[in-house]
Chain A
Amino acid sequence: MAEMDTSSGGGHKKGPGVKKSKKLSTRVDLTPMVDLGFLLITFFIFTTTMSQPTAMKLNLPKDTDKPDEQNKLKESAAFTVMPAKDDKVYYYEGLDPSKIQASDWKTIRDAILDKKRRTDPNDFMVIIKPDADATYKNTVDMLDEMKIDDVKRYALVDITPVEYSFIQKTEQANGIK
């Protein structure tokens, strides 16, 4: 097979007086090359698998006017979150928007989990109502939050003018333009 003769002299006894010519070793230290090779391999492994985009499933309910086809929602089990301008999140429990509370992305998880703990898991439902100033990222983050907090029932609904006016009032009070 393809092997290099790397024996550096030795073996043959030469007679006295015969000068040994110094043979240079043909052996190259391949360690840095192997290092480089594996570094590139790791790089390619990471870039090939990591760059694949993932898909978040979003299933919407069908719009219907028939009351018997609509999902019933208990007031005590409802929790409405409203992502808004400047990465703020407003939320209220039940169905009364006047109880609106300001929050942000750091604290909203605790608020959701707190409500979840106090509510019958079969009834608990989060209603996501991004307002007109919320970004797409806010919307997706909130849907993701449902997965992170293991909330089984949630809905993406358009905001009502009443709720929007409450958000604007709170924003004004907090000095957000």
Chain B
Amino acid sequence: MGRAKIPRKSTNIDMTAMCDVAFLLLSFFILVAKFKPPDALAVITPTSVYTKVAPDANIILITMDKDGKVYFGISDKNTGEKKDIIDMVSTAKNLGLTDAEKKNFINNPAAYIGVPFSQVKSLLDKAPDQWKGIVMPGIPTQDSTNNELRDWIQAAVAAFQGEKMFIEIKGDNAAKYPAFSGVIWAMKRNDQLKFQLITSPMAAPPGSELDKIQAKTGSKTAE
């Protein structure tokens, strides 16, 4: 009586299929990954527990760098609004911008203004590829008698009329509060009271109230 022979099978698995899948996924993720254009302004944002992803269209972007200098920008896709804004500002402040200068602002995807009105013309005189090295003094905001950000916001609000508009404030960790206060002041004068502060995500500290709430509801969101 012989036992039935169990044929010994090789433990070698054909890895080819797995390899195919792995690289298929890899190429998918590489293609899908959006590479952020390197920001001309180096800003390190604070962290927060909020989980809502910042919108990326119809944005007025107010940037505060580490020295508290304030910059004004519009999301790339909204070229129509950009045109309206620069037209309005040019007329209202008698900047006398030429069409070519306006185009430098409209067609530059990363265009941001960080100069007082008196220097806007000379800034826009330069082609977008020359902007990189320019050190801008920032839009005057700290003094309520000369808060030029208010005028920029005013133009932006008018340009975005009838559309949803998000005001994003992207501040550097090291910016001082008075800079932020000046930005808030400019917003309040335009009746703009809802902002999105851009932050980097962070988990709720363990044991905190929010952590308990998230554990109870089973979701990790905080909006």
Q: Give the interface of A toward B (CB within 8 A).
A: 27, 29-31, 33-34, 37-38, 40-41, 44-45, 47-48, 50-63, 83, 109, 113, 130-141, 143-144, 147-150, 156, 158
A56 touching B194 by the CB < 8 A rule?
no
| Beta-carbon contact of A135 and B188 below 8 Å | no
Q: How far is the CA of A41 from the CA of B55 in the complex (A)?
A: 26
**CB of B167 to closest CB in A, whole Å:** 10
Interfacial chain A residues near B121, Cβ < 8 Å: none
In the complex, the answer to whether A55 meets B18 with C-beta atoms within 8 Å is no
> Are B23 and A144 within 8 A (Cβ)?
no
A73 to chain B, nearest CB (A): 19
Q: Is the CB of A60 within 8 A of B201?
A: no
Q: With A40-B26, A136-B180, A144-B50 as given contacts, are A54 and B199 in contact (CB-CB < 8 Å)?
A: yes
Do the beta carbons of A54 and B177 come within 8 Å of each other? no
Contact B51 A54 (CB under 8 A): yes
Name which residue of chain A comes closest to B179, CB basis: A136
- Judge whether B22 and A37 touch: CB under 8 Å: yes
B30 touches A147 (CB 8 A): no
Given A44-B26, A158-B181, A147 and B173 contact (CB-CB distance below 8 Å): no
The reply to whether B16 and A30 form a contact with Cβ atoms under 8 Å apart is yes
Across the interface, which residues of A come within 8 angstroms of B197, CB to CB? 55-58, 140, 143
**Chain B contacts with A in 1-45, Cβ cutoff 8 A:** 12, 15-16, 18-19, 22-23, 25-26, 29-30, 32-34, 36, 45
State whether A34 and B176 are in contact (beta carbons under 8 Å apart), knowing that A51-B36, A54-B53, A59-B194 are contacts in the complex: no
| Stretch of B74-82, B149-157, B207-215 contacting A (4+ beta carbons < 8 Å) | B207-215
Least distance between A49 CB and chain B CB atoms (Å): 10
